[in-house]
A and B are shown apart, each in its own frame.
Chain A
């Protein structure tokens, strides 16, 4: 790894600074990008607030040690190089020398240490840096991470919005970083853009940071993020040219519509690490769905193709497992549970669930966590009627209501969209680990699924540094899960990026807009 890096150091320097720029035509400096965002972020500090809404402005305001290219390869960012030694238990980051925060104070290794500790304490994804026991700072430009065990997820966890480097002299003033006033106002960041104004529910205005540590970047002078919740309004804005750029569009109908527009480019690229998957989760502990036969029968009765074609209008991809198809760990060779009503009926008959005089065997409820999944829930009602299951759709008035219901395990079936967040350790394990059955916590193992063998594989895969061995472990995991079926995975959430033809070089890596847009520019 060390040697590999030294070799690539020169290479990437030339690659990133010259050839990348050339290969995307000549970026033009200056200009304002008008982007839309679908929700108002809580605040702008990604060190203590995860999620794609904070991620967009957060990744522009704050730099991370490394960044990723479209092939899942780590690239230098704030760390100009890194070395991994001691069997993966020591990671040395060599920081860029002349980097400064937005207030002009140099970025030092102590800020990296402070940031990591703050994130470890406050960020909801505890698995990201759990094995990191200490950070040593032998000099101002070197940070050494000491780990208790190998942690292959670490590289991804140091990228995108996940490890924002925040200034210790601002956020280390003793106030709780979660509620620090400078999370929303006077944000002092380390990234390519600095904050001009954040008006919740209206807009976020960002401006080029002239002393950014990569010379000549960013290309844009200004980014205006308009907060527009209504999908139809956003679409009209894109069509009549009021908005140049929108990421995370997932309303299939709008995607299909915008694809027909000659002034716009619509692409599903860039979301592999975000990894959003739509699925139908089962309560595996109580009720009829505790029986794996019932779960399998339901999976056979729900037509994934109908969801892909009719609900998603062909813009989403099939997802057969809980790992996103864009991930290198995806294993497509599992039982796909393709539509087979007869088989579903037979499974139920054999398991002793006889049809009553009205043709129904028993009743179940289905919830849905997001308004966009309402069609799936309604479809479930219609589909399961065919195998004699009478489904009641339960609409939660809002998210907290649904979260309370599901996290307290008061459900039979629920549709949900869950994110992989890069490495399986961060976003996949949590759904199936026995140790993560936590009442009251949403997106824990709310299925209450427990299989010691599955737990053991995940534990092994979490510390396996060899990519091929790791892939094999995750392949086995996905097969076992498909067999036990605590969740029936159907499709990827069809996140798309839509941008005007005048936008050059939009973020197309694995992290979409949760990555710096220092290379994006506006054409003439």
Chain B
């Protein structure tokens, strides 16, 4: 497919150019600003709003705005605003860690499969196929049933079932890049395989992987909420999903207890996907030309 081109150069774009493209997009910048805002809220917010999210501070089910609680209180009289603020930290942490786990597994499997080919590729892609075919939520539930519903096991479970897309993208990038001249050149200059995979090819394959991983962060946050909805969450840690899961049975009367954390998840995932789009446009030279 590349016969007509003279020499394919490394496709890494200058950092400055990436930033320029990214910041030219209004939606990407908006997403980034929202995301930073939420992160700041989660990490610094508790300093300004010190109510402990676990403390029963008022009557249960006090509606939003009444009695000085902006977002109301939950079934134990705990402050929902404080839960949203503190939950931001945990939800974002779960999202990023799970995406990181997926990224590690996916890049590992995809790059080896793409680089080595043959039976290695065959086996690894079969494993990937397995994760692509299996309903991920079911698989994650089995993992949580096995290891218990702590934040750690939930995060790992999400990460462990969501990497198939990363693996596929990594593999196809590797398949494309490993035949390019600059790779062949460094191969002939005696670089060993590991150096080729991680120093030469991977940086050039990074763009689509980064974009995909960014989207996985959002997916992991909704995934965690889904598990919590089914009753699998850690009651010792406040995350948005956990707030939704715990208040689920009260939804008819105290809809706000589920609405607010839902909105928080919604805004965050929206912001992440806007940033993902921006990254995609900035990193992908093909699209930029349009």
- What per-residue 1/0 map shows which CB atoms of B185-222 lie under 8 Å from chain A? 00000000000000000000000000000000000000
Contact A397 B148 (CB under 8 A): yes
Cβ A257 vs Cβ B252 within 8 A: yes
Interchain CB contact under 8 A, B75 and A375: yes
Interface: A396 (CB within 8 A): yes
Is B249 in contact with chain A by the CB < 8 A criterion? yes
Picked from B56, B76, B246, B254, the residue with its CB within 8 Å of the CB of A253 is B254
CA–CA, A379 to B60, complex, Å? Answer: 12
Are B77 and A310 interface neighbours, CB within 8 A? Answer: yes
A-chain residues with CB within 8 Å of residue B149 when the two chains form the complex = 395-397
Residue B9 lies at the interface, judged by CB distance under 8 Å to chain A: no
- Report, nearest first, the 4 A-B pairs whose CB atoms are least far apart: A397-B149, A393-B235, A397-B145, A395-B235
Residue A117 at the chain B interface, CB threshold 8 Å: no
Residues of A within 8 A of B251 (CB): 232
Decide yes or no whether A168 CB sits under 8 A from chain B. no
Contact status A232-B248, CB under 8 Å: yes
User: Inside 8 A of B56's CB, which chain A residues have their CB?
Assistant: 379, 382
Q: How many Å lie between the Cα of A257 and that of B251 in the bound state?
A: 11
Instruction: Decide yes or no whether B54 CB sits under 8 A from chain A.
Output: yes
Checking B233, B236, B246 against A392 with a beta-carbon cut-off of 8 angstroms, the contacting residue is B236
Chain A proximity mask over B224-260: 1 for CB below 8 Å, otherwise 0: 0000000111111000000000101111111000000
- 8 Å CB contact of A393 from B148, B232, B236, B248: B236
Cα of A393 to Cα of B144 in the assembled complex, Å: 17
CB–CB B233/A398 < 8 A: no
Nearest A residue to B246 via CB reads: A374
A139 and B231 alpha carbons, distance in the complex (Å): 55
A310 touches B76 (CB 8 A): yes
CB neighbours of B145 from chain A (8 A): 397-398, 401
Q: Is B55 an interface residue (CB 8 A)?
A: yes
Q: Which residues of B contact A170 (CB under 8 A)?
A: none
Complex Cα gap A100–B76 (Å): 54
Is A311 located at the chain interface by the 8 A CB criterion?
A: yes
With a cutoff of 8 Å between Cβ atoms, the chain A residues found around residue B75 in the complex are: 253, 311, 375
A310: chain B residues within 8 A (beta carbon): 59-60, 76-77
Is there a chain B Cβ closer than 8 Å to A476's Cβ? no
CB distance from B27 to the nearest CB of A (A): 35
Q: Evaluate contact between B76 and A379: CB separation under 8 angstroms.
A: yes
Asked if B54 contacts A381 (CB within 8 A), the reply is yes
Q: With contacts defined as CB atoms under 8 Å apart, how many contacts are there between chain A and chain B in the complex?
A: 65
A232 touches B252 (CB 8 A): yes
The residue that A231 contacts in the complex, of B54, B77, B236, B249, with Cβ under 8 A, is B249
Q: Among A232, A379, A396, A401, which residue has its beta carbon within 8 angstroms of that of B249?
A: A232
Q: Which residues of A contact B232 (CB under 8 A)?
A: 397
Q: Can you report 8 A-B residue pairs in the complex whose CB atoms are below 8 A from each other?
A: A232-B249, A251-B249, A253-B75, A253-B253, A257-B253, A310-B59, A371-B231, A401-B145
Residues on A with beta carbons closer than 8 Å to the beta carbon of B252 = 232, 235-236, 253-254, 257
> Nearest chain B CB to A510's CB is how many angstroms away?
28
Binding site for A on B (CB under 8 A): 54-56, 59-61, 75-77, 144-145, 148-149, 231-236, 246, 248-254
- Across the interface, which residues of A come within 8 angstroms of B246, CB to CB? 374
A-side contacts of B254, CB under 8 Å: 253
Contacts of A256 in B (CB 8 A): 253
Q: Which of chain A's residues has its CB closest to B143's CB? A: A397
367-388 of chain A: CB within 8 A of chain B: 371-372, 374-375, 377-379, 381-382
Distance in angstroms between the alpha carbons of A144 and B77 in the assembled complex: 58
| A397 neighbours in B (Cβ, 8 Å) | 144-145, 148-149, 232
Q: Does A253 contact B249, Cβ atoms closer than 8 Å?
A: yes
- CB nearest neighbor in A for B148: A397
User: How many Å lie between the Cα of A253 and that of B149 in the bound state?
Assistant: 26
Min Cβ gap A430→B in Å is: 28
Known interface pairs A257-B253, A401-B148; A395-B233 also in contact (CB < 8 Å):
yes
Q: Bound complex: CA of A379 vs CA of B144, how far in Å?
A: 25
C-alpha gap A382/B54 in the complex (Å): 8
* Cβ contacts under 8 Å, B77 to chain A: 310
The residue in chain A whose Cβ has the minimal distance to the Cβ of B144 is A397
Nearest Cβ in chain A — how far from B237, in angstroms?
A: 10
Q: CB-CB < 8 A to A381: which residues of B?
A: 54
Rounded to whole Å, the gap between the CB of B288 and the closest CB of chain A is 47
User: Which B-chain residue is minimally distant from A258 (CB atoms)?
Assistant: B252
Chain A residue nearest to B142 in the complex (CB): A397
When chains A and B are docked, how far (Å) is the Cα of A231 from the Cα of B249?
A: 6
Taking the closest CB of chain B, its distance from the CB of A230, in whole angstroms, is 8
Contacts of B55 in A (CB 8 A): 382
Instruction: Report the Cα distance A254→B253, complex, angstroms.
Output: 8
Instruction: Report the separation of the CA atoms of residues A401 and B246 in the bound assembly, to the nearest whole angstrom.
Output: 19
B235 touches A378 (CB 8 A): yes
A231-B249, A232-B251 known; 19 new pairs, CB 8 Å cut-off, are A235-B252, A251-B250, A253-B75, A253-B253, A253-B254, A254-B252, A311-B76, A374-B235, A375-B75, A377-B235, A378-B54, A379-B56, A382-B56, A393-B235, A393-B236, A395-B233, A395-B234, A395-B236, A397-B149
Report the minimum CB–CB distance from B250 to chain A (whole Å).
5
A235 — which chain B residues lie within 8 A by C-beta? 252
A396: which of B148, B248, B250 is its contact (CB, 8 Å)? Answer: B148
Collect the chain B residues with CB atoms within 8 Å of residue A371's CB: 231
Closest to A368 in B: B235
B214–chain A nearest beta-carbon distance, Å? 30
Report A99 CB to chain B, min CB distance, Å: 43
Whole-angstrom CA separation of A257 from B233 in the bound complex: 27
When chains A and B are docked, how far (Å) is the Cα of A377 from the Cα of B236?
11
Q: Give bound CA distance, A253 to B77, whole Å.
A: 14
Q: Which residue of B lies closest to A254 (CB)?
A: B252
Question: How far apart sit A372 and B59, CA to CA, in the bound complex (Å)?
Answer: 19
* Whole-angstrom distance between the Cβ of A495 and the nearest chain B Cβ: 16
Distance of A131 from chain B, by nearest CB (Å)? 41
Question: What CA separation (Å) do A398 and B61 show in the bound complex?
Answer: 27
Q: CA A398 – CA B248 in complex, angstroms? A: 17
Residue of B nearest to A253 (CB): B250
CB-defined contacts of B235 to chain A, threshold 8 Å? 374, 377-378, 393, 395
